[in-house]
Structure 1
Amino acid sequence: MLLNEFLTEYDDSLGSELNIDPLGLQVIWSAFGQQIFQNRISSISNDIRNYTLNLFNHWLIKNLIDDDSVALGNGLKKIYGGKNDLNFKHACLVYLENLYVYSVIAHQDIAGLESTGVLGISKARRRWYERSGNPRLSFSHNSEAQVLVRQTMLGVSGRYKTPLVEMGFFDRQYHYSLPTAAPLWKSAETLFKNVPTLSRLYHLLRLHLRELLASNSGEPKRDFSDIPTTLTLAVIEAFPSSAVVGTRTCDFWLSITELDQGAPGALYKVLSPANRGEGLSSSSAAAVFEKAVKQPLSLEAQGKLEHVRLLEPLLGELDLLFNLMLAEKSQSLKEVQRRWEALGRNAATLKSYADPIEENVAMSSVLSATGQSRLNRLLILARQGDAPAQICTLLNYHAQVMESRGQSPWLTLVNGAQLKLHVRPRAEPTLADRPLGCWVHQYYIPQFRHLLGGLQGVAA
C-alpha cells in the first residue's frame, strides 16, 4: 500500500495530526518552509507531470464551461445545476484523471512511458485486470466513479489544488474567472497551444467530452474499449514522463511559480545542473541552505533563508533529546541526562540555539496560532536551568501535544523520577550520527530537487 495516497500537508485547522510527529514540530518547520516556497512545493505536490496534467485538465474544463455551444444533456441536467456546479467540475476532473491512468496501463509497453508517479495506478491496475483490460469509466462526482478513495482530495486535482490556488488560477471552489486569473490563463493557453502534443490532445478530448456531456442518460459511462485509441495514445504522448513534460514546460512553470527568483531562486541556483559537480544535488538541506544564503539576495529573501537556519538547529536538538528519552523501556531522568551529555550536550545547549530565535522578531510573524504557541513553549523549555528540568518540560509539552490530538503520550513520568515508555524503544544515536546542531527536517529540499529534476528533463 502506498502511504502517499493518504498523506497530506499539516493543516492546523483540522483537529488532529498523524501519530508520526510526537513533538508536533511539523506545523512549525513547514510554515518556515512554505514562507520560502509559497505552497508551490510540498510533500504531496512536487511532480511537474502531475502539475501540468492538473492545469491542463482545468484549462479544458474552463473552456467547456465558457463555450455556450457545449450543452449538458437531459440526464446531466437532472444531476447538476449547470456547468458551473462544483460537483460537475469534480466529475470532469475524476473522469479525466481516470482516463489518463487507464491509458498509461493500456500502453505501458511504449518506450519512454513512465508509470512511476502516476497517482492511483495501483488501484487502477487491479480494476483493469478485474475487468479483463476493459474497465468502465463513469462521468460522476460520486465515489463509485473514483479509482482512488476520496479522489477529489487525494488524486491529481486534490494534491495539486493548493499550488494553483496560491498562484491565482482559481479559488477553492474552482471559480476560474477571478479578476487576477485572466493573464495566467492566457499564459496557459499559449503554452498548451504551442506544444503540439498538448494542442492535439486538447482537441481530441474536447470532442470526446462534448459528445459525452450531451448524453441523455443519467451518468454517462464508457467502457475503455469504446474510447478511440487515437485519444488514449494522445493522452500518453502528451504526458509520458516528468522529464519529457518538464522539458516542454520549464520556462512556463518558472515564469508562473517564480521558483527561480528570490529565496527559492537561491536554492534553485544551488541545486541547478551547473552545481552537480560540487555534490550539491544530493547534499543535505543544511548544506544547500548554507550555500544559498551566500547568493546575492534582497534582505527579505535572505531573511527567509536565515529563519530556517536559526530554527532548525533548535528543533533538531529537541528531537534528539526526545529520542534519548525513548531509548529504554524504563530509565531515570539522570540516565537521560547522562546520554545527553555523552553526546556533547549540556544544560546550555538548547538555550544557545533558542536565543537567536527569540532575538529575531520577524520570525514570530510566520507561524499560525498553533505553531507560534508551540514554538513559544519550546523557547521557554530551552531556558530551563538544568537538563532534568528541560527533560520534564519536554515530557509535559509532548503530553499536551498528544492530548490535543486525542492520543496517549508515548512516555510518562513515574514517581517523579522514572520514565516509562509506552511505544517501541528507539535506537540511541551516536555523536557521529547527530553532531551539534544537526538538522532533522528537510524544508522541502528533496521535493524541490524532484520538481527541478523534471523541469530540467532529468529522469527520476
Structure 2
Amino acid sequence: MTTHENPLNDIFSGYDDSIFSDGSIDPLGLRIIWTFIGNKIFKSKLNTISTNSYLFTINLFHHTVIQHCIAENPAAVAKIIGKDEYLNTSDLIEGLVIFLENLLIHVSVKYPGSHVVIPGTNKLNNLVNAGGKAEVTRMVKVSKNNVDGILVRQYLLGIHGRHKGPFTEMGILSTRGDALYANEQLWKDARQLFDLDKWKQLKLTLCELITKKILDAPKMVRGKICYPLDEVLTQQVTEAYAGILDATAYTSVTFKQFWLTRLGLREGISGLLYTEYCNALSDSPYDFDPEAILKAAYQSAGAALELKMIYEVEPLLTMFQKCTSRILGHKLPRLDEELSNFLDYWLDNNDVKPAAIKEILLTGNFDNNEARLRLEKLLTIYESCVEGDSRAGRFFKQLLQYHKKLMEDRGNMSWVTLGVDDSISIHRPLHLNESALEQLKGKAWVNEYYLPTINSLHKGLGL
C-alpha cells in the first residue's frame, strides 16, 4: 500500500441478488426463507442473477488482465490513486473493469447475432440508432459512477456487478478493499487458464492498452481518466474482442474444471446435488425437474440437514404462495364459496409437517433471524387454521393481515387489502386461466433453490 492509499477495508461489498425490491415480486416475503436455505447449500456462490457461464468467464478474464497490469506497474498505480475518482486501489480496479466492459459492449454492437450476449448491447445500440448524442456512445471512462457507464447502475448491474458476490464467496476476489487480488496463486492459475489462442491475444492487447493509455500516461478529464472511443477501441482491440463473442471460445476443459471447483460442485451437499442433476439430465435430457432432483439428493444424502430443511419447509412455502396466487386471481370482491373451497382444499391436502419444521427451527442452524421469524409466523397461521370451524375464513384473514404488515414494514403498497366488512380489493391482480387454476391445486414445489442457475451454467460450459 502506498502512502496515498485509503486503507479502508471491506469497502468492496458483495453483490446482493435481492437488490430488486422484494415488494415487487414477493408478496409474502418467502424469498428470504428459501434463499437462506439455498445459500446454506451453495455458500452464496450461486444466485438468480449470475446464471451465464460466458459472463462468469469474461468477468474472470477482465480481472485477470487488470490484476496483471496492476501487479506489473505499482509505481504508475501509486501516481493515480489517492485523489479525485481514485481514492484507493479498488476505485481504480472497478473503474478499469467497467472501462473494459464498455469497450466490449461497443464491440458487441459491431457484431450483432453473436453467441455471447453482453449486457448493455441493446442499450448502446438504441443510443447509436438515436443519433449517438449520448456521451457514452463517443467517450469511454475509467469510472464506476453510474453516469459514466452504458448501463444505468452498471457498477451493480454490469458483468462485474452481477458476479461480485459469487466471486467474493468463491475466493476469487477478496473482501478487503485494499487487497482485492490477495489470492496470488489463484491469479497465477487464472493467467494460465487464459493462455489460449483467442484469449491470449486479447489479453496481450488489453494489457498493452491499459499500460500505455491508462497507467503510464492517463488522459484526465475533470478528475477522471477519459478517452474518445476511437483512441482506445482500435481495430486491433475490436478484432481481439470479437474472438471471444463466439461460444467455441468457452469450451475448454480447463474452464469447466475451474468453475466446477470454484462453485463447489465437486464436493459436499452442493456436489451431491450436482451429481443428482447430472444423473437426471442423463436419464431425461429435456425434462428438468428441480423438485425431483432435490428429493433424490435428500434420499441419497441420508437426510442431510440442508436438504432436510428444503424437504420439510418447501411444502409450507408452496401452500402459502399458491393460496396467495389464487386470492390475487379471484374475480369477486369477497371470499365466496369457490375461493373458500380452494383454501379448504389446501388445508386438507398438503405435505406440511409442523413438528418437523419446529425441529428444524430448533436445530440452531436457522441463524437468519428475519427468515426464522417469517417461517415461524407462517407456521403459526397454518396451525391456527388447519382445524376447527370456518377454517378458510380464518386462514384468508390471517394471510391478508400478514401480507399487510409485511408490506407496511417494507414501505410498499399492499397487493390486496381486506375491508372492514371483509370485502377485498385486489390492487395487483393475477389473470388465471383454467390451466393455471388447476396447477395451483397441485403440490408441485414453487421454489427451485438455485438449480436453474446450475442448469444454465452447466449448459453454457458444455458439460
1:138-287 pair list within 5 angstroms? 138-172=141-175, 174-176=177-179, 181-193=183-195, 195-213=196-214, 214-215=216-217, 217-218=219-220, 219-224=225-230, 227-241=233-247, 244-245=250-251, 249-272=255-278, 275-279=280-284, 281-287=286-292
1:328-367 pair list within 5 angstroms? 328-332=331-335, 336-341=339-344, 344-346=345-347, 349=349, 352-361=352-361, 365-367=365-367
CA distance in 2, matches of 1:46, 1:216: 35
Gaps of 5+ in 2: 1-14
Q: How far is the alpha carbon of 1:449 from its aligned partner?
A: 0.4
SS at match of 1:446: helix
Do 1:134 and 1:225's aligned partners in 2 also have CA atoms closer than 8 Å? no
Do 1:136 and 1:221's aligned partners in 2 also have CA atoms closer than 8 Å? yes
Report the residue type matching 1:371 in the other structure.
A
CA distance in 2, matches of 1:170, 1:8: 15
CA distance in 2, matches of 1:81, 1:411: 48
Q: How far is the alpha carbon of 1:362 from its aligned partner?
A: 6.2
Report the residue type matching 2:272 in the other structure.
A
Equivalent position of 2:447 in the other structure: 441
Do 2:346 and 2:441's aligned partners in 1 also have CA atoms closer than 8 Å? no
Q: How far is the alpha carbon of 1:248 from its aligned partner?
A: 5.1
SS at match of 1:282: coil
Report the residue type matching 1:318 in the other structure.
F
How many residues align structurally? 434
Within the candidate set 305, 309, 316, 2:311 is matched to: 309
CA distance in 1, matches of 2:321, 2:374: 14
Report the residue type matching 2:76 in the other structure.
A
SS at match of 1:266: helix
SS at match of 2:119: coil
Equivalent position of 2:102 in the other structure: 98
SS at match of 1:40: coil
CA distance in 2, matches of 1:79, 1:158: 22
CA distance in 2, matches of 1:149, 1:397: 35
CA distance in 2, matches of 1:226, 1:59: 19
How far does the alpha carbon of each residue in 1:250-281 deviate from its partner, in whole angstroms, 9 at most, with x for none? 01111222213222222222332x64352255
Change in CA separation of 1:243 and 1:441 when aligned onto 2, cut-off 3 Å: farther
Equivalent position of 1:9 in the other structure: 17
1:64-103 pair list within 5 angstroms? 64-68=69-73, 71=76, 79-81=84-86, 84-103=88-107
CA distance in 2, matches of 1:137, 1:65: 20
In the alignment, does 2:377 pair up with 1:377?
A: yes
CA distance in 2, matches of 1:306, 1:75: 52
CA distance in 1, matches of 2:237, 2:327: 58
Change in CA separation of 1:294 and 1:338 when aligned onto 2, cut-off 3 Å: closer
SS at match of 1:420: strand
Equivalent position of 2:6 in the other structure: none
Report the residue type matching 1:86 in the other structure.
S
Report the residue type matching 2:258 in the other structure.
F
When structure 1 is superposed on structure 2, of 249-258 and 129-138 the one drifting more is: 129-138
Q: How far is the alpha carbon of 1:161 from its aligned partner?
A: 0.2
When structure 1 is superposed on structure 2, of 127-136 and 443-452 the one drifting more is: 127-136
Report the residue type matching 1:207 in the other structure.
E
Change in CA separation of 1:429 and 1:439 when aligned onto 2, cut-off 3 Å: farther
Q: Percent identity?
A: 23
Alignment root-mean-square deviation, CA: 3.2
Report the residue type matching 1:321 in the other structure.
C
Equivalent position of 1:3 in the other structure: none
SS at match of 2:439: coil
TM-score, scaled to structure 1: 0.83
Do 2:85 and 2:143's aligned partners in 1 also have CA atoms closer than 8 Å? no
Q: How far is the alpha carbon of 1:360 from its aligned partner?
A: 2.7
CA distance in 1, matches of 2:396, 2:150: 47
Change in CA separation of 1:265 and 1:411 when aligned onto 2, cut-off 3 Å: same
Equivalent position of 1:54 in the other structure: 59
